[in-house]
Structure 1
Amino acid sequence: MSNDWIDVRHSAKYQIETIQAHFEGHAYDAHWHDSYLVGLTRQGTQQFHCRRHKITSQPGDIFLLEPGEIHDGDAPTAGGFTYQTFYLSPAWLDSQMRQLFHDTPSSYQLSFAKTLNNDRPLARQIANAFQSVHFGELTMVQQSALDNLLASLAVHSHWRARVDNARLPLASAHRAREVIHSQFNEDLSLQDLANAVQTDRFSLTRAFKKAFGIAPHAYLIQLRLAQARIRLAHGERPAQVAAELGFADQSHLGRWFRRAYRLSPAQYRQICTNLPD
């Protein structure tokens, strides 16, 4: 019998999702989010792959992931692990952090120096802010806790210039990603994608895996799942979302959604909107 559980809350006010969960054994497959993740391991040992490294997070450790960073999750020891995580909208976090970093050019984007650290003051601020937001404290209490979190997070953040994809060593992979983003709800073939960036599909697959860690088809599925989260959070029905994003049917969307997020599309929609499916 599984002892896994997950508790998700959605705050439209701050464009923030908060998740606390417990997993034993395999937690979730490799996936990415279009949010910044700021999390804290509360109990047990959490293990995941990110930035081409295997990362082990112990109680009190902090994990920081940028949008698009591929990661998975496993519990390598008995008893599993428990964590708390903020999913922060890039637009919201950018606007808030620019108030702390004055005169940062608009062409720069926020980045985290390391995926894992054990800064105890930051861990306390994550725990305090999570308690305030997840459990709906008074607005002023939430804002104060989030401000303290952002101030502590600033120590581990920096701004990096946005790179012109055409000048990157794996330019064909980056151009292919742009094509995927522009046509993510269409039935693109690998050959279509290779033709669009003027290469062959074998070279493209190798370059794409080297640039982003997964094959083009896997990236397309993750992008569709990220779009599904947005649409479900706005109240669209799973069947409608599946049809408009190119999934074969609602059950096809559901299988992929549960593998990545451990929730069904209907459960996620209800958490975000309080609407029954």
Structure 2
Amino acid sequence: MPGDNWIDLLQDADTGIETLRAHFKGHAYDPHWHDSYLIGFTETGVQQFRCRQQRNVSTPGKVFFLEPGDIHDGDAPTEGGFTYRMLYIDPQWLDRELGALFEDVPSGFQLSVPQILFDDSRLAAGIDAAFQAVHGRDLRIVRQAALDELLGGLTRRLQWRKRIDDNPRLPMVALRARDYLHANLMRDIDLDDLARAAGCDRFRLSRAFKEAFGLPPHAYLIQLRLARARQLLGRGLAPAQVAADLGFADQSHLGRWFRRAYGVTPAYYRTRCSKLPD
């Protein structure tokens, strides 16, 4: 993509893994989350992002590793900007592959990432090799070998966490509101609807929701719709249809939010990540 900021994004048809290499100057993207694991490293410059209520500063060679749902933003605090490469790994694919590679995967547990930024030159090399094989559309056997090597490196940084439906420390009104948003993500709901579903007034709800999930309810709903938009665009649906299906005013409205979160337009994402012809 032209200009100071550019993004090169592809999706692997066999695994669904998305590979991204990008450069940003200044503001990169607004707070958002993904439903994938994000694993990558900074190539050049200084990459700054807020995640898990702290500011993280990544310099060349540092590895970052985020769980699905980790809210993060991004910006370049230095004049030259930063370049990074990254893989988006589907949680179901990761669980399935680890289950095939290892015999001692516990039942009733899910993978968690205890540390999101660290120095690990061996893992960075594994990310780079997997990125080049997948992004370069190398022979299938080469891609598989590189990904298996990467999985071996990731296990040093992953932990097993007992799978629970809800965190008991989160307030019940926030949990009810979250469930309502997930069930009604395509409806034109307002804070009064949400407050009634949660069983409290909307002012208390807004405070409790942001404290629990890091975003106010309206921003959380937009993130839900954007995550669904990525799925639909990846299946080949046209941006205008996706905007209409998800309750955006029009294609331009979807495009503004999509680019603020991901740095690319819905049309670009569809072209690069859809298995169907444009």
- Distance between the aligned counterparts of 1:169 and 1:231, measured in 2? 31
Q: Which shows bigger deviation, 267-276 or 144-153? A: 267-276
- Partner of 1:254 in structure 2? 255
Alignment check: 8 A CA contact 2:61 2:121 kept: yes
CA contact (8 A) 1:269 1:275 kept: no
Structure 2 residue 259 is the aligned partner of structure 1 residue 275: no
1:5-84 matches, within 5 Å, as: 5-84=6-85
- TM-score, normalized by length of structure 2? 0.95
The CA RMSD over aligned residues, in Å, is 1.4
For the residues of structure 2 that align with 1:3 and 1:142, how far apart are their CA atoms? 31
Work out the number of aligned pairs and report it. Answer: 276
Q: Is the 8 A contact 1:165 1:171 kept in 2?
A: no
Aligned-partner Cα distance in 2 for 1:98–1:158: 14
* Superposed counterparts of 1:35-184, under 5 Å: 35-165=36-166, 167-184=168-185
Using the alignment, how far apart are the partners of 1:117 and 1:165 within structure 2?
28
* Structure 1 portions without partners, runs of 5+: none
Whole-Å Cα distance in 2 between the matches of residues 246 and 105 of structure 1? 40
Q: Which residue of 2 aligns with 1:196?
A: 197
Instruction: Note the C-alpha offset of 1:104.
Output: 3.4
Moved more, 160-169 or 212-221: 160-169
Matched residues in 2 for 1:116 and 1:187: separation? 38
Does 170-179 or 77-86 show the bigger shift? 170-179
| Distance in 1 of aligned mates of 2:58 and 2:102 | 29
Identity rate, percent: 55
**Conserved in 1, the CA contact under 8 Å of 2:10 and 2:135?**
yes
- On the 8 A contact 2:170/2:212 being kept in 1, the answer is no
**Matches of 2:159 and 2:103, distance apart in 1:** 12
- Name whichever of 93-102 and 150-159 sits farther off: 93-102
TM-score for both structures, normalised by structure 1? 0.96
Per the TM alignment, residue 168 of structure 1 is displaced from its structure 2 partner at its CA by 3.4
1:38-60 deviation per Cα after TM superposition (whole angstroms, max 9, x unaligned): 01101110000000000000000
Q: CA deviation at 1:135?
A: 0.4
Unaligned runs of 5+ in 2: none
